Structure 1
């Protein structure tokens, strides 16, 4: 039944038999047969289907909750036994909001030093995608904002408090200032992250509170693209202070703290709330706590 529950999890995530079959590496008839067998075993219909996948039934939604719990427990058991035989090894999957990507090495680098048989993949995501990936067992931990929007059933390890600054080229308006206000920044030709990013929603909120109309001249989900536009000298942006410190900005680019008000938002590591965690996740959460102790409280 475990294999069928894993098939069901992928189908619920993809909501399409063809895509789910490709993801699982099986034929579509094999997947359909497995779901039908699971329905027969449980005595309920899990999926509404016509010529294609329509939606999960109410019973299917309930089974989905159990499937996540059962499959998670089985994966934890397997990993514990593998760790008992060979030590901590395998592949760590991390998703982080774009503004936190620069802080990922504070966890992965010391972790790799302690566990050399571990490899990593890191992906850039919105805060909502981070939570969805966690829920569907597609990542082991996420790094995201932990206060401003609902997180659901997760455990959190606060890493740092994000503060904001104006990023602009020398010679531009306000570039000779020691600090600027939110209302002043709003008047500049800004390039910002796209509205689906929580960082953008935070910035929009503070600009509106300052009485400004949010009208960026360029939007992107890539921090690299934003930086490249700032370097032309024709654009400015609002970014977390920690990014400027990690990337080591130098002339002709300046980072100027935004005050009035001086605001901050907490960023941290999130993992599914479950006991026990897999050995890998437990070790990652421990490393995150160590990283939090090393990082300044406000960066």
Structure 2
């Protein structure tokens, strides 16, 4: 109950997320405060944030819940082998890599299912902290990750996606400066990929402007196909989305720095058996490629 209130920042939403009545939730929080002998939440007529003691309790609560989940998974693995469901959140440009990992893992461990969500890099880190996911696929070197376990998967290589009739489609390589004044559609500004692209454009003296923005790579490619826009995507997702379409993929000049994308998991020693197997499979996949 306490974790739900801390996550939602609202008693009513927290109660609904747990499927209980709000008075039941409030009574549970009061009982926890009585057991600990401290006030955990500032509240008057509504949620007012966590007290300093509440912030400390939040760290412990996440640890306790994580330990309890690990105990259950280890006992289940002892009885039945690896089974259950892995929840993974993935930045939109890495969704094809999520499919690669889940496909390989599923062959070795057919009793483990996957729930795969598309989220921003910031949302992925928050979901890991909130125990809403088991792992993520995100950038490893472009924002503070905190204490996590990581497996690097690939470095982004950017491609220009354009119609085959575009003048840029006939070039062997496109400079970032060539995109000045072009009609661009790009990921929305809350996406880390967009912020990276903006920096590359500005380094080339180009003001980052997009007449269409979206959180979906499918929407971007559809605009290139239907309306003659240009978009920029990492190579793997660009190749996947352009298959069978009248589109051209042209490599962009390498930027001054590349960005690594990888599997991110909560730091625990040891990991749950299923999560440890996932990290090991990701390492094997990289070494095989």
Which residue pairs with 2:193 in the alignment? 199
TM-score, structure 1 normalization = 0.93
Q: CA deviation at 1:248?
A: 5.3
Which residue pairs with 1:137 in the alignment? 131
Instruction: Determine whether 1:48 maps to 2:42.
Output: yes
Which residue pairs with 1:113 in the alignment? 107
Unaligned runs of 5+ in 1: 1-6
TM-score, structure 2 normalization = 0.97
Q: How far apart, in 2, do the equivalents of 1:80 and 1:292 lie? A: 27
Q: CA deviation at 1:250?
A: 4.6
**Paired residue total:** 289
CA contact (8 A) 2:179 2:206 kept: no
Q: Which of 231, 249, 252 is residue 255 of structure 1 equivalent to? A: 249
| CA shift digits 1:252-288 (9 cap, x unpaired) | 2011011164752110000011112111111111111
Name the SS for the 2:240 alignment partner: helix
Which residue pairs with 1:274 in the alignment? 268
Instruction: Determine whether 1:64 maps to 2:53.
Output: no
Q: Which of 19, 27, 32 is residue 25 of structure 1 equivalent to? A: 19
Q: How far apart, in 2, do the equivalents of 1:45 and 1:154 lie? A: 30
| CA shift digits 1:206-234 (9 cap, x unpaired) | 00001110111100001111111111251
Q: Which of 80, 86, 111 is residue 86 of structure 1 equivalent to? A: 80
CA RMSD, aligned part only? 1.3
Which residue pairs with 1:240 in the alignment? 234
Bigger mean CA deviation after superposition, 33-42 or 180-189: 180-189
Q: How far apart, in 1, do the equivalents of 2:247 and 2:257 lie? A: 22
Unaligned runs of 5+ in 2: none
Q: How far apart, in 2, do the equivalents of 1:202 and 1:166 lie? A: 15
Q: CA deviation at 1:245?
A: 3.0
| CA shift digits 1:115-163 (9 cap, x unpaired) | 1111111110000000000011100110001001111111110001111
Q: CA deviation at 1:244?
A: 2.5
Name the SS for the 2:182 alignment partner: coil
Name the SS for the 2:107 alignment partner: helix
Which residue pairs with 1:75 in the alignment? 69
Q: How far apart, in 2, do the equivalents of 1:246 and 1:228 lie? A: 13
Q: CA deviation at 1:186?
A: 3.2
